[in-house]
Amino acid sequence: MLRLGVTSAEVRLGGELGAYRIGSVGRGVGKLAVVFPGQGSQVVGMGQRLAATSPAAREVFARADEVLGYSLSRLCFAGPAEELRQTHYAQPALLVASLAALDALTEMMGARPPAAAVAGHSLGEYTALVAAGALALDDTLRAVQRRGELMARAARSEPGTMVAVLGLADRLVEEICATVSGQVVVANYNAPGQVVISGASAHVARAAEQCRAAGARRVVPLPVGGAFHSPLMRMAADEFCATVEELRIESPRIPVVGNVTGGLLGRADEVREDLRAQLRSPVRWTASVQTLADRGVDHFLELGPGQVLRGLIGRTLPTATVHSAGDDLGVLTAVEWLNMRNDVHIRDVE
């Protein structure tokens, strides 16, 4: 199986890049970050064309089938959609589909993407950690499966929902949630003026109505299976800590931006602490993107199904260049884009 790092077994990004250099910056081109989507981006058919055209992508799916003990590849390729939407299937499925895109890209390029850093949205953070060599694929598959099972169980025990709120300041939405109850919170800070609230259904409905009254441009219920990243996930978070403690975690080969603080995770103990807190904490994606920008990143490559992160990054950094690649054609276009980027860099430093 192809990896994007200095060893073929554990590391996907990092190390010397031949013609590429991690974090290399010419006068005409900025740094690149690779980012990975979270739950909600799954779609039936994801990865199918990649697996058909790329041996490296096909190997990722085959390994997942073997480790998990069921045909995750069949579920990704053929559905049914209602089964793929279930949290305990959606999470490993997205992990594998995104890593398949990464390995197909590496195989096609014949080199590793010149990433200065990686990040992922919620579940996507696990994908980023595998890409950076902090987590091994087999361990992560089992952990993510367990994460999804616990989240689904918590959602059945304490039902809740999530609603996107567009067009209000973060602080105002926080104040509205606080006036409703302690059972609804801001769960995702996705972009300036775009957050997601999460919690008990009745409390979320009241908070959503107050957001409309306060002038929110849109208030959109999300088709999710529970109140993720809210106090209703406390039982799942407590139980999942045992899984996190058992994970073999290495220091990332390249910087990873964590969800809990939106800051850099450079050591194994920092990664473990972030994963312990992630389920019960908000996803600070706006801060994560800003952290990358502060490090000189102005080019982003989203690997995996959908283009959710492309839109969020564009709202946060309007001048950034963002490319999304989730299938064979997208990966081919990404290779051309990366090669063109590198050509610009070579011309600038000659």
In a domain, 251, yes or no: yes
Residue 7 is predicted with a pLDDT of: 30
Residue 339 is predicted with a pLDDT of: 86
* 254 and 319, same domain (yes or no): yes
* 168 and 305, same domain (yes or no): no
Q: Last residue of a domain, which of 194, 221, 248?
A: 221
Give the number of other Cβ atoms within 10 Å of residue 88's Cβ.
18
In a domain, 166, yes or no: yes
Overall number of domains in the chain: 2
**Residues of the chain under the 70 pLDDT cut:** 1-29, 342-350
| 135 secondary structure, DSSP code | S
* 257 and 289, same domain (yes or no): yes
pLDDT for 254-299, tens place per residue? 999 999 999 999 999 999 999 999 999 999 999 999 999 999 999 9
* 51 and 131, same domain (yes or no): yes
In a domain, 226, yes or no: no
Residue 156 is predicted with a pLDDT of: 94
* 151 and 167, same domain (yes or no): no
Say which of 41, 98, 122, 230 is annotated catalytic: 122
* 39 and 185, same domain (yes or no): no
* 44 and 168, same domain (yes or no): no
**CATH no. for residue 184?**
3.30.70.250
Q: Last residue of a domain, which of 190, 221, 252?
A: 221
Question: Is 323 an annotated catalytic residue?
Answer: no
In a domain, 213, yes or no: yes
pLDDT for 162-186, tens place per residue? 999 999 999 999 999 999 977 899 9
In a domain, 144, yes or no: yes
3-state secondary structure 182-217: CCEEEEEEEECCEEEEEEEHHHHHHHHHHHHHCCCC
| Strand order across the beta sheet in which 31-36 lies | 264-265, 256-257, 115-120, 31-36, 297-303, 321-325
Say which of 203, 229, 299, 323 is annotated catalytic: 229
Residue 13 is predicted with a pLDDT of: 61
Residue 287 is predicted with a pLDDT of: 98
Residue 30 is predicted with a pLDDT of: 73
Q: Are 132 and 118 in contact (CB under 8 A)?
A: yes
* 90 and 181, same domain (yes or no): no
Q: Are 33 and 115 in contact (CB under 8 A)?
A: yes
From the list 92, 99, 89, the residue with the least C-alpha distance to 60 is 99
* 115 and 56, same domain (yes or no): yes
In a domain, 19, yes or no: no
In a domain, 14, yes or no: no
Q: Last residue of a domain, which of 201, 221, 241?
A: 221
**CATH no. for residue 79?**
3.40.366.10
Parent domain of 169: 160-221
